[in-house]
Structure 1
Amino acid sequence: MRAYTPKDDVQAKSYYTDRYYVAPQVPKSEVETDEVFASDLAAIKAKFKVKEAFIQVEQMIVYIDAKDIYGVLKLMRDELEYTQLSELSAIDWLAKDNTFEIFYQMLSMNKRKRIRIKYFIKNGQAVDSVNELFRSADWSEREMFDMFGIEANGHPFMKRILMPYDWQGNPLLKTYPLEGDEFAAWYEVDKIYGKEAREEIGPEIRDTARVDRYDSERFARLGHEVPKGTKITGNEPVAEQAYQEDGGVFLIKKLDKDSSVVIDDPQR
């Protein structure tokens, strides 16, 4: 059986640190520099509280209170001609201040403008569904629930959409392991064969970058490649590898196995 290292309670042990690269902010400009955006912002401010607004990459970003989202999007659809909700989702800032940043990407085909509406919620807080305003919100709100665990009040079918209904954990949280946790390692084994088969089968390997030199296709036996299905005896001749045809390519240095380097450090 394959060697296995338990991942008990790994989601409770956040590995998110400041070692991850944080991209610098794109330059912002005042809303007043764009006549259309200035008019749209004034219409929103007339009925709702706006915490912050600015232009970034030719689109306006507007921060509002979470409780106003339905009313703001209704105003934008009915009065400001932003008739398409092209995307909505969340950003995980739990490690920073235990909040999620929720965003709604709005598009006006008539004005050829985009506005992104944003607000913050605390961890465990639900949002108001906008599915009645935009049918495109149906699957997006379910995906946000599935991937981040954020429920949308008033949604007609608040169930997972990508993961199985009985899945544990939310894969887009920064604390969720890239290779899955203890539950993920045994999910399919338990479902298909039952827990009593764990000893015989072993946990699922979810590392997509893992190369097994004894895989069933024999493709990963570097330097000892053989045709598909060939029985491995251990006496196969070494196959020298060349990464470039004879004569090479103009301005490209010819590479071969002897000059290549295998990187063992995954953090490099």
Structure 2
Amino acid sequence: MRKYSDKKNAQLQNYYKDRFYHAPHTKKFDVNESIFKQDYEVLKTQIEIINSFIELDFWVIEIKKEDNIKTLEMLKTLGYLSFTEASAIDFVAQKNGFEVFYQLLNLEKKLRVRIRTFVGVKERLQSVAHIFKGANWSEREIYDMFGIFIINHPNLKRILMPDDWYGHPLLKTYPLQGDEFAKWYEIDKIFGKEYREIVGEEQRDPGFVNDKDTLNFARLYHETPKGGASKEISFKQEYQEDDGVAFVKKVKRDQAKILEKRR
């Protein structure tokens, strides 16, 4: 077990400083006044529905986590045969748990339904992969990214991260650029810890380009010898990675113009 360090980062900051700002909310409509009314009447006879409404043309159903299998089985008999998505939302800080949701599609009637349920921290959720095979990988992703344990799953293991990865990357407490373990993971795995100083830590920002680096990048139209001193350029520079696909230009740089407004 690695030494615990507090994972405070930008995800915990308030992005909106304006005290008058209010996040937009979508309108919710009564399910009894919609095309879903008949399906709703059938479903509520056997399932305890906590809440139900229409939002963005989706029929949204809130249920207890113990009823997820029965609910999806009933919806499948009602014509919602296509499983499209399943994921979770981290509400650990506010509610000490997660909101897990499933989305189904009725192809004949062109209707969509979202089933929501709450799963507390360290609680378990029943797998629905035996009802919809498409849920297999989605449930593995929920386990991998959020750490929610899905019981009775045929092959519950990580699907995106390595099997020995520490932590769950979609938790809001997870650092945006990874922690100490993430920083050195590939170096330690491929070369060994003794190569940390030789190779250096991983670059976690894929959009970063060092404009002074003439070892790994060639400056198009203002080339310098590999490893030579870089030239000071007053305008935005372009780059070409080693052995990369060459840029294709149809116009000449000295003939380019910047338009201040549309024509």
TM range (shorter): 0.7 to 0.9
Structure 1 unaligned spans of 5+: 1-7, 254-268
Q: How far apart in 2 are the matches of 1:233 and 1:248?
A: 31
Q: Matched residue of 2:29: which SS?
A: coil
Count of aligned pairs: 240
Q: How far apart in 2 are the matches of 1:169 and 1:216?
A: 35
**Which of these residues, 150, 162, 165, is aligned with residue 164 of structure 1?**
162
- The 1:144/1:165 distance shift into structure 2, 3 A limit, reads same
Residue 173 of structure 1 corresponds to 171
Is the 1:100–1:121 contact (alpha carbons within 8 Å) kept by the matching residues of 2?
yes
Q: Matched residue of 1:60: which SS?
A: strand
- The 1:88/1:199 distance shift into structure 2, 3 A limit, reads same
Structure 1 window deviating more from structure 2 (239-248 vs 128-137): it is: 239-248
Equivalent residues in 2 for 1:27-176, closer than 5 Å: 27-34=27-34, 36-78=35-77, 80-176=78-174
Structure 1 window deviating more from structure 2 (244-253 vs 205-214): it is: 244-253
Question: What amino acid sits opposite 2:136 in the alignment?
Answer: D
TM-score by length of 1: 0.80
Q: How far apart in 2 are the matches of 1:11 and 1:146?
A: 21
Is the 1:15–1:175 contact (alpha carbons within 8 Å) kept by the matching residues of 2?
no
Q: Matched residue of 1:32: which SS?
A: helix
Q: How far apart in 2 are the matches of 1:193 and 1:232?
A: 25
Q: How far apart in 1 are the matches of 2:67 and 2:6?
A: 32
Residue 192 of structure 1 corresponds to 190
Shift of 1:181: 0.7
Is the 1:11–1:181 contact (alpha carbons within 8 Å) kept by the matching residues of 2?
no
Residues 146-191 of structure 1, C-alpha deviations (whole Å, 9 max, x = no match)? 1111121111110001111111111111111111111101101110
TM-score by length of 2: 0.82
Shift of 1:16: 4.0
Q: Matched residue of 2:109: which SS?
A: coil
Q: How far apart in 2 are the matches of 1:137 and 1:215?
A: 48
Equivalent residues in 2 for 1:13-32, closer than 5 Å: 13=8, 16-17=11-12, 19-20=14-15, 23-32=23-32
- The 1:215/1:50 distance shift into structure 2, 3 A limit, reads farther
Residue 257 of structure 2 corresponds to 248
Shift of 1:9: 3.9
Question: What amino acid sits opposite 1:233 in the alignment?
Answer: G
Q: Matched residue of 1:82: which SS?
A: coil
Q: Matched residue of 1:73: which SS?
A: helix
Q: How far apart in 1 are the matches of 2:256 and 2:7?
A: 55
- The 1:45/1:165 distance shift into structure 2, 3 A limit, reads same
- The 1:189/1:110 distance shift into structure 2, 3 A limit, reads same
What RMSD, in angstroms, separates the aligned Cα atoms of the two structures? 2.7
Q: Matched residue of 2:257: which SS?
A: coil
Is the 1:54–1:60 contact (alpha carbons within 8 Å) kept by the matching residues of 2?
yes
Shift of 1:26: 0.4
Structure 2 unaligned spans of 5+: 17-21, 238-252
Shift of 1:81: 0.5
Residue 223 of structure 2 corresponds to 226
Residues 217-243 of structure 1, C-alpha deviations (whole Å, 9 max, x = no match)? 324x69x9426xx32332x55444379
Q: Percent identity?
A: 38
Question: What amino acid sits opposite 2:38 in the alignment?
Answer: S
Q: How far apart in 1 are the matches of 2:48 and 2:195?
A: 58
